[in-house]
Structure 1
């Protein structure tokens, strides 16, 4: 790696704005050759792009903090950490790897101490202005020697270590996928509630991205205890991030709890993992859902007037349809399931709505389908067969089912929430603030993406304005006992 530069120089010097792009810093040769990670799955364009391994709840994450102690890492993880440190010259002088905090299909994320934090510009650090590095002065006694006082003075000036997340991207990832993720993160720098890219570097085919480390809690540990104002604050932070991302015409494509790192103590969240993100309109073809109603009806008339036949035709003459289906099961929007070829940022709004439904119903995961067909059945069970058929026609598809549990009109979100929280639908009613949340949920989970609320509009909704006057207790560093320096008088 490059020699340490003068203080406060930006780490992003390797990025250049020439021709609206940037270069990834290439380090000097290492003494150890880069080894291909043979355990990482090969990439296939026809395979669902679900960037992480499944956890016990069926969800996936490449950036989920672990409660493991540093010494609890198994031998394989320690060996991988050693390989990473040896792969890049000068790595050990800049970062100290602590533990693995996530592993996905295309990458592994480690927590590390930033040893040269004070040597660079750290405008990405949200806490740098509010942190108080020096503790209160110790009371001195006449009996204390000058050497003891000098040692205490130096100890008082010591700051707590600063951490970063180091994302090692597997060599099996497509170079275009890697470049796309880094370019999008670079473009999103400075966006509120969005994880910024500090820097990135590579040697041969090994790429490493340096990201801020955000202290957060496991979604499963706190979501069932959230009050409605707590939920509003959580969702407002998420939609603040989405508004920033969508304003730059970027689709995240993988909105879910494990990709939104939230700290209940500071009530602050940050959106991470842009491995599946892409720019709106990239590599897409026109879909009838963007036509006006009259044009759409004329195009779909043969499909509507034709006799629906059960089963699969022996010779299917219909043209094949290929669309991006990236995302995580249970969070995909209807247009993704129906293979809409012209998807918009509204797919992220649906996924955020699923998160809200999960919190309100106290059930995680709420949708637990094994494939797209089951996902359609789950959505149709809630919204009803009629609305699901209209949504299918919106994208030039037909939906027919004989499953008896799928009713014509479906169920209301209010009834689902009352049932799932063990309240009697006939006797109990939702509180006023819960009704606001349900109204907001209906706007987010609108089957027609053109009628679905946008992130900017969502921030003006009355529900997301709940709790704005409440004081925020604690800071993002509250309770962080990682390598704290305890000073005793």
Structure 2
């Protein structure tokens, strides 16, 4: 995908008062603050026509928005509501002042002009130009809003990342103006994707994450509805940086960043080890534990959080985004969405245990200085292979009288890639840059070249 460069307009200054934000009194309150909307409840597609039918409730919503945000209707013509989330609502709008500004961010316009005559390029574009207006809810923290806009500005020249065009503030209301990208609902195409199409999807997604991670930014909420993908163009754009943060923000030392020797020493001298040595069995815990509960950033969406997020790792890295991408690939290969659908962090961790087994989860917990024990008999010690999970989900293990069914070669290669994404140890998990060099994704370039050869053959 071509680079999308932002041409920032003269926006109204956004005043941010860095008021002290008190810590939440309990984890449930923090969960509410940082929990993104359930993926099944989110809007996830756009339509081709700018004159699409608009529901009465949406018309009323847009009318209220225009009434409360003075002057917005002079710059933009609101068309429809195209997305609703926990922290914002997104509208499709026509940019009425498009020709007054530099619009380097407009990829489609650049592509159109590339094939136009020199005389046509000099003329102002007369076709309608659409943008996405993100209305950020006033319940969002001013620091959170400022952080999102600042990160979007830093990412303005990044491949496959939605750039910030400009932002406006009126009283306590802030809106961000972003490019409008035509895309399809993930639920409309994920079951039918061929492996060759998956390669293109993840090549585009990892191109975006490579740019984001190169700047030390963790997206924290990678999921299908935050990657606007157009299968016809094999192009996607990573959006919604409302929960994103710079790597190292509020970070504290965690056992996962210690050497193996130091980690073993810490475990052998832990409160848990002392409890065991006092004659209690392995699953015993201190009766009176006076230590403060561990606090860590747990922002994101249920079902897409990495194990270290669920274990409250205090030194999280960009690798948490890679795990989320792995969940998307697992969803495509298994044809199940959402694949994980837990009610809370404990259930989410047990869902992962179902696949990887108790032994792996004990090791993963110890890596972050936590102890994992369960007496639920249905969780096996060794877990199940991802191949078996996919065969079971796609109905290829039911009939024992038929020959044993296996994954085809392309699926096997996808699963090998999936193991690198769903690596429970974040230090061993593949990076976005490494993913783009993995054979599973490098073949996406070969597939594209083969398609071009076929086109050339037809044209000849």
Structures share fold, TM-score greater than 0.5: yes
Q: Hey, what does 1:96 align to over in structure 2?
A: 77
Partners of 2:64 and 2:108 in 1: CA distance: 32
Q: Please give the per-residue CA displacement for 1:453-475, whole angstroms capped at 9, x wherever unaligned.
A: 0001110000011231344999x
Partners of 2:356 and 2:284 in 1: CA distance: 24
Partners of 2:130 and 2:69 in 1: CA distance: 19
Q: Hey, what does 1:431 align to over in structure 2?
A: 408
Q: Hey, what does 1:375 align to over in structure 2?
A: 348
RMSD (Å) for aligned C-alpha atoms: 2.9
Q: Hey, what does 2:358 align to over in structure 1?
A: 385
Q: CA, structure 1 residues 183+429, in 2 after alignment: closer, same or farther (shift >3 Å)?
A: same
Partners of 1:164 and 1:240 in 2: CA distance: 23
* Number of residues of Structure 1 aligned to a counterpart in Structure 2: 421
Residue 47 (structure 1) aligned to one of 24, 28, 31: 31
Q: Hey, what does 2:56 align to over in structure 1?
A: 74
Q: Please give the per-residue CA displacement for 1:120-167, whole angstroms capped at 9, x wherever unaligned.
A: 11111111122269999xxxxxxxxxxxxxxxx9xx997432111101
Query: Relative to total residues, which structure has the larger helix share, 1 or 2?
Result: 2
Shift of 1:325: 0.4
Q: Please give the per-residue CA displacement for 1:440-459, whole angstroms capped at 9, x wherever unaligned.
A: 10001101000000001110
Residue 254 (structure 1) aligned to one of 204, 217, 221: 221
Contact 1:266 1:473 in 2 (8 A): no
Kindly indicate whether residue 434 of structure 2 is the aligned counterpart of residue 457 of structure 1: yes
Shift of 1:66: 6.8
Q: CA, structure 1 residues 431+249, in 2 after alignment: closer, same or farther (shift >3 Å)?
A: same
Q: Hey, what does 1:292 align to over in structure 2?
A: 259
Contact 2:136 2:173 in 1 (8 A): yes
Partners of 2:43 and 2:330 in 1: CA distance: 23
Partners of 2:35 and 2:255 in 1: CA distance: 29
* Secondary structure, aligned partner of 2:427: helix
Contact 1:287 1:340 in 2 (8 A): yes
Residue 140 (structure 2) aligned to one of 140, 150, 173: 173
Q: CA, structure 1 residues 377+214, in 2 after alignment: closer, same or farther (shift >3 Å)?
A: same
Q: CA, structure 1 residues 206+258, in 2 after alignment: closer, same or farther (shift >3 Å)?
A: same
* Secondary structure, aligned partner of 2:339: coil
Kindly indicate whether residue 9 of structure 2 is the aligned counterpart of residue 12 of structure 1: yes
Q: CA, structure 1 residues 161+67, in 2 after alignment: closer, same or farther (shift >3 Å)?
A: closer
Shift of 1:172: 1.2
Q: Hey, what does 1:124 align to over in structure 2?
A: 105
Contact 1:51 1:276 in 2 (8 A): no
Q: Hey, what does 1:32 align to over in structure 2?
A: none
Q: Hey, what does 1:482 align to over in structure 2?
A: none
Partners of 1:345 and 1:53 in 2: CA distance: 21
Residue 343 (structure 1) aligned to one of 316, 332, 349: 316
Partners of 1:185 and 1:311 in 2: CA distance: 48
Contact 2:319 2:429 in 1 (8 A): yes
Kindly indicate whether residue 293 of structure 2 is the aligned counterpart of residue 320 of structure 1: yes
Q: Hey, what does 1:330 align to over in structure 2?
A: 303
Q: Hey, what does 1:187 align to over in structure 2?
A: 154
Shift of 1:292: 0.5
Partners of 1:66 and 1:130 in 2: CA distance: 21
Q: Hey, what does 2:24 align to over in structure 1?
A: none
Shift of 1:311: 7.7
Q: Hey, what does 2:328 align to over in structure 1?
A: 355
Partners of 2:288 and 2:304 in 1: CA distance: 33
* Secondary structure, aligned partner of 2:93: strand
Contact 2:322 2:421 in 1 (8 A): yes
Q: Please give the per-residue CA displacement for 1:181-200, whole angstroms capped at 9, x wherever unaligned.
A: 00000000010000000000
Shift of 1:315: 2.7
* Secondary structure, aligned partner of 1:109: strand
Contact 1:346 1:454 in 2 (8 A): yes
Residue 197 (structure 2) aligned to one of 226, 230, 250: 230
Unaligned runs of 5+ in 1: 1-8, 16-22, 27-42, 137-152, 475-489
Q: Please give the per-residue CA displacement for 1:22-72, whole angstroms capped at 9, x wherever unaligned.
A: x4399xxxxxxxxxxxxxxxx996234445443xxx545476547997443
Kindly indicate whether residue 380 of structure 2 is the aligned counterpart of residue 407 of structure 1: yes
Q: Quick check: which has more Rg, 1 or 2?
A: 1
Q: CA, structure 1 residues 10+188, in 2 after alignment: closer, same or farther (shift >3 Å)?
A: closer
Q: Hey, what does 1:149 align to over in structure 2?
A: none
* Secondary structure, aligned partner of 1:463: helix
